[in-house]
């Protein structure tokens, strides 16, 4: 068996699907999955009080961002695909946003089987404050525009690569 160097594990070795050997178990600090997990939790925790001022959760925030971006009614299935949310998570989330006057739900005029959601004036009022939230998040990150763009490209590439494997 061969031992192979993997960049994100520093000087440690990594097993591959080709049957390469591991010379040492990875420490927590060596796991890219842990770094992603910790970063995700930290970002969500930072957003929580900012969004609480608007009485929103992070997934609700993402729905409103998507709907404001589209400027048209969006099928619920498309919202779920775009945000990687399953039906069981998305439906109650949309109901809460509808109850708060942030979005409307209606059957599609072209296909009665399809439910579409659209941002309302109440949702637009909340969305108008999102730029302020993004500025605060950008300041905390401390990355310049190029660094932030590179990070986003790397994260998207990672999500695409892992997502393609199922």
For residue 134, what are the CA distances in angstroms to 8, 12, 13, 83, 89? 29, 37, 38, 18, 25
- Residues 25 and 138: their CA atoms lie apart, in Å, by 36
pTM of this prediction?
0.79
Q: Please report which confidence band the pLDDT of residue 1 belongs to, taking 50, 70 and 90 as the band edges.
A: very low
Residue 24: DSSP 8-state:
S
The number of residues making up the chain comes to 166
Residue 102: DSSP 8-state:
S
Give tens-digit pLDDT for 36-68: 999 999 999 999 999 999 999 999 999 999 999
Walk me through the domains of the chain, giving residue ranges and CATH numbers: 1-27 (no CATH), 28-164 (1.10.10.10)
């Amino acid at each position: 068996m061969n031992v192979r160097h993997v960049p994100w594990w520093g000087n440690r070795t990594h097993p591959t699907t080709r049957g390469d050997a591991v010379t040492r178990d990875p420490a927590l600090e060596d796991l890219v999955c842990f770094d992603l997990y910790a970063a995700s939790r930290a970002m969500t925790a930072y957003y929580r009080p900012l969004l609480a001022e608007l009485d929103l959760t992070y997934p609700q925030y993402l729905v409103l961002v998507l709907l404001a971006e589209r400027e048209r009614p969006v099928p619920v299935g498309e919202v779920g695909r775009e945000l990687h949310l399953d039906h069981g998570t998305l439906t109650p989330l949309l109901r809460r946003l509808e109850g708060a006057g942030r979005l409307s739900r209606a059957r599609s005029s072209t296909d009665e089987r399809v439910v579409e959601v659209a941002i309302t004036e109440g949702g637009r009022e909340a969305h108008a404050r999102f730029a302020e939230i993004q500025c605060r998040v950008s300041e905390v990150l401390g990355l310049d525009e190029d660094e932030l763009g590179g990070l986003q490209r790397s994260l998207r590439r990672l999500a695409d690569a892992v997502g393609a494997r199922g």
